[in-house]
């Protein structure tokens, strides 16, 4: 498909319009995050200073952090800091939260991308199969599989996977991103599998991939169930449309009818769900990383929860929400690209 300049212009305008619409919502997100972080029981200055700090130190911190000012002023200060990428300083690590997050981001990205690949790679074919073989054994099995999927506690599934594949079968490693004896590949993206691939280090690649497999599967299962379900139902709806009859009447093969004519139409609702389910994926990452000791943002935030490290918790929450909003914006744009009846 050729993309003329006019098309790109309208696309850009569309993105800008969506951003303008999202601005109040994004502002609301910061307000809510700010309010939550100020609803902490106890004195935030005391928390930052630590339990053994002297009265003067606490007062000092209160003043330097602006905690003695009225709430709106504090919020303004918070927003100002945010615009400079200042998410506060972690109580636990004494480092800026943004730096912490930056360190943990690649591991989470690697895990979530791998899960997404698994989900789409398995979920779409499974959904299509169930729709085409509607009301057969295959369809019923898929239904059972997806009902169980959306009902399984992720953390429990992780433990069960560990029990079977690590403890009993011993096929896969149970924690971390690499064997302790192995050096991390040269850092390019920070995602070990990708870096190892780029460096051509096959041994590291195999090792990193084997560590990735269980957590990625664990994280993808819920999501997989959702995707399979939506692909199935949208595919069934599309297969009943008149243009499918036309395609068949035109003598196209069944494979072409399903994989070209029906599939692209069924992608329209699917894409929306993929964006919305990104939230599930982030929630799941918190639990999965904890179970598999995967050193990503999710494990970071759970460790912070246990330490009541509020700047870290709120920094994570804010970053994830912003990412969530951006992913859904991207999905909207993609949606418009797939569906020509949408006008920018």
Partner 1 sequence: MSKQLLDVQGLSVTFTTHQGTARVLEKVSLSLQAGEILGLVGETGCGKSVLARSILRLIPQPPGRIHEGRIMFQEKNLLKLSARAMRSVRGRCISMIFQEPLSSLNPVFTIGNQMREMARLHLGLGREAANEHCAAMLARVRLPDARGLLRKYPHELSGGQRQRVMIAMELSCGPQLLLADEPTTALDVTVQGQILQIIKEQAAQRDMAVLLITHDMGVVAQTCDRVAVMYAGVVVETATVADLFARPEHPYTQGLIAAIPGRERIQQLLTIPGTVPDLVTPPPGCRYHPRCVLRVKNCNRIEPELSTIGAQHAVACHLSAGKPQENWRRP
Partner 2 sequence: MLTLRILSRNPSAAAGGGILAVMVCMALLAGVLAPYEPVEINLSERLQGPGADHWFGTDEMGRDIFSRIMYGARISLRIGFFVVAIAGGLGALIGATAGYLGGWVDNLMMRVMDVIISFPSLVLAMALAAAMGPSLNNAILAVAFVMIPKFARMVRGEALAVREMPFVLASRVAGAGHAWIILRHILPNCLNSVIVLATLTLGDAILIAASLSFIGLGAQPPMPEWGAMISVGRKFLMDQWWYATFPGLFILFTVVGFNILGDALRDVLDPRIRR
The binding site for partner 1 (CB under 8 A) comprises 241-243, 245-253, 261, 264-265, 268, 338-341
Cβ pair 185, 201 in contact under 8 A: yes
Burial of 25: CB neighbours in 10 Å, binned 0-12, 13-18, 19+: exposed
Backbone angles phi, psi at 89, to 5 degrees: -110, 135
Q: CB count, 10 Å around CB of 193?
A: 21
Among the listed residues 214, 216, 223, 114, the one whose alpha carbon sits nearest the alpha carbon of residue 159 = 214
CA distance 230 to 266: 9
Q: How far is the CB of 156 from partner 2 (least distance, A)?
A: 3
For residues 99 and 303, which CB has a smaller minimum distance to partner 2 in the complex?
303
- CB–CB of 211/293 below 8 Å? no
Listed in sequence order, the residues at least 6 apart from 44 whose beta carbon sits closer than 8 Å to its beta carbon are: 37, 38, 65, 67, 310
Our CB check for partner 2 shows the closer of 31 and 73 to be 31
**CA pseudo-torsion sign 332, 337, 338, 341:** positive
Minimum distance from residue 5 beta carbon to partner 2 (Å): 33
Tokens of 335: 């949606």
- Interface residue with partner 2, options 48, 291, 311, 336 (CB under 8 A): 291
Q: Compute the least distance from the CB of residue 234 to partner 1, in Å.
A: 13
Answer yes or no whether residue 251 interacts with partner 2 by CB under 8 A: no
Q: Identify the bridge partners of residue 96 per DSSP, sorted by sequence position.
A: 89
Binding mask 16-55 for partner 2 (x = CB under 8 A): --------xxx-xx-xxx--xx-xxx--------------
Q: Which CB sits closer to partner 1, 75 or 344?
A: 344
* Torsion-angle region of 161 (φ positive above 0: left; ψ -120 to 50: alpha; else: beta): alpha
From 130, 235, 287, 336, residue interacting with partner 2 (rule: CB under 8 A): 287
- For partner 1, give the closer residue by CB, 306 or 341: 341
Site for partner 2 in 155-194 (CB under 8 A): 155-157, 159-160, 162-163, 167
Quick one: 175 or 339, whose CB is closer to partner 1?
Answer: 339
Residues that bind partner 2 (CB under 8 A): 24-26, 28-29, 31-33, 36-37, 39-41, 147-148, 150-157, 159-160, 162-163, 167, 233, 278-280, 282-284, 286-287, 290-291, 301-302, 305-306, 308, 310, 313-314, 316-317, 320-321, 324-325
């Amino acid at each position: 498909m050729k993309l003329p300049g006019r098309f790109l212009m309208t696309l850009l305008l569309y993105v800008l319009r969506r951003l303008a619409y999202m601005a109040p919502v994004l502002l609301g997100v910061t307000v809510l995050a700010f309010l939550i972080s100020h609803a902490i029981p106890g004195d935030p200055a005391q928390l930052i200073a630590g339990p053994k700090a002297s009265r003067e130190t606490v007062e000092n911190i209160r003043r330097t952090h602006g905690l003695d000012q009225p709430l709106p002023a504090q919020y303004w200060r918070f927003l100002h800091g945010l615009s400079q990428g200042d998410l506060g300083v972690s109580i636990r690590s004494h480092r800026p939260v943004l730096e912490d997050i930056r360190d943990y981001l690649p591991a989470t990205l690697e895990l979530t991308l791998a899960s997404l690949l698994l989900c789409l790679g398995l979920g779409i074919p499974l959904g299509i199969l169930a729709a085409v073989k509607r009301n057969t054994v295959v369809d019923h099995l898929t239904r059972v599989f997806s009902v169980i999927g959306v009902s399984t506690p992720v953390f429990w599934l992780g433990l069960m996977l560990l029990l079977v594949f690590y403890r009993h079968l011993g096929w896969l490693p149970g924690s971390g991103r690499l064997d302790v004896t192995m050096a991390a590949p040269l850092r390019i993206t920070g995602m070990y599998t990708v870096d190892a691939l780029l460096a051509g280090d096959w041994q590291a690649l195999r090792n990193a991939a084997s560590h990735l497999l269980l957590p990625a599967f664990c994280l993808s299962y819920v999501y997989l169930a959702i995707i399979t379900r939506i692909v199935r139902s949208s595919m069934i709806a599309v297969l009943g449309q008149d243009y499918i009859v036309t395609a068949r009447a035109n003598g196209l093969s069944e494979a072409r009818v399903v994989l070209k004519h029906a599939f692209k139409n069924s992608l329209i609702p699917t894409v929306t769900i993929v964006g919305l389910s990104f939230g599930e994926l982030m929630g799941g990452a918190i639990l999965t990383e904890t179970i598999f000791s995967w050193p990503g943002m999710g494990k970071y935030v759970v460790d912070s929860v246990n330490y009541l490290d509020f700047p870290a918790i709120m920094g994570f929450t804010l970053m994830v929400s912003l990412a969530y909003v951006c992913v859904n914006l991207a999905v909207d744009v993609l949606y418009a690209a797939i569906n020509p009846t949408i006008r920018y």
